[in-house]
A and B are shown apart, each in its own frame.
Chain A
Amino acid sequence: MEQVADTAELDAEFTALYRAHLRDVYSYAYYRIGNHHDAEDLTEQTFLQAWRHFARARSESDGRPLRPWLIRIAHNLAANYYRDRARRPQSPLEDADVVSAPHETEQLVEGREELRDVLDGVASLPDDRREALIMRFALGMDNREIARALGRSEGATKVLLHRAIKQLEGALGARG
């Protein structure tokens, strides 16, 4: 009876996790992979794998948020995706119109060309820098969360982000 109650509780918690972070995982997958079809596959595989290991992850998390753990699963699956198919993220992204959340900074962007330059610049960064930027800007993760997802220290993550932004600035400056 207790086993049944535990299972029901786990299922409920996993459902909450899934609903809270479906968009995060999908956004991460989309910006990593570069097309919707494979991003859907990666999202599905991420949650299936998360479900299999959820009980253990929950018990080991000590109450910390599980989003970095989810993103780490997606990160590992994406790495396998590239290794298996020996391909890099597609660039440019297949459909920039899917960018769905309007920003207050929208007025600052003069046109799609500038947006395309930024996305191309991100795609050309080394994997770890690109990933850190996706986590920070697409998912809104803080340094601690990104550090957990990438398996690095917070200090190393801060440096990584700083260098990624500087490199991107240099690339955009060179284009402009």
Chain B
Amino acid sequence: MAELSDTERLLRFALAPVEPPRDLGERLEHRLTQVAGAAAEELGDWELGAMRDPRNWVRPVAAVAVGGAAAGALVLVRARAHRRPAPGELRPGGLKALDRGTRDVARGLRRRF
């Protein structure tokens, strides 16, 4: 190592390290512990917290909207399927209606005679 000049020796003395006040260390450790604890809690509560913030509602609302649309489409498809049976295929309630109609006609004939 190169030998120090007089100025460098003076600088080493003049700029000696300064011990921080003891209470600064304690205060800072306390503050860091608080911040770390708060960050851990924040991480744990993030999902709930996110739902409380309207700015974070876009994605869930979009998901609900997409899900709702899909469910609506499903209901619609089922309803259409219910209203329009395939050609040549009897509706599920068709035989019952025919049976009911036959019974009504028989009841009417009995009343007449």
Interface residues of A (CB under 8 A from B): 7, 11, 14, 18, 22-24, 26-27, 30-31, 36, 39-40, 43-44, 47-48, 51, 98-103, 105-106, 108-109, 114-115, 118-119, 122, 133-134, 136-140, 165, 168-169, 172
Contact = CB atoms under 8 A, between A and B. Distances in A.
A48 B32 CA distance: 7
A100 B16 contact: yes
Contacts of A11: 36
B48 interface: no
A133 B22 CA distance: 26
Given A40-B24, A47-B32, A100 B13 contact: no
| B interface bracket (residues with beta carbon within 8 Å of A) | 20 to 34
A26 B31 contact: no
Contacts of B16: 99-103, 138
A165 B32 CA distance: 38
Given A22-B20, A51-B32, A165-B5, A115 B14 contact: yes
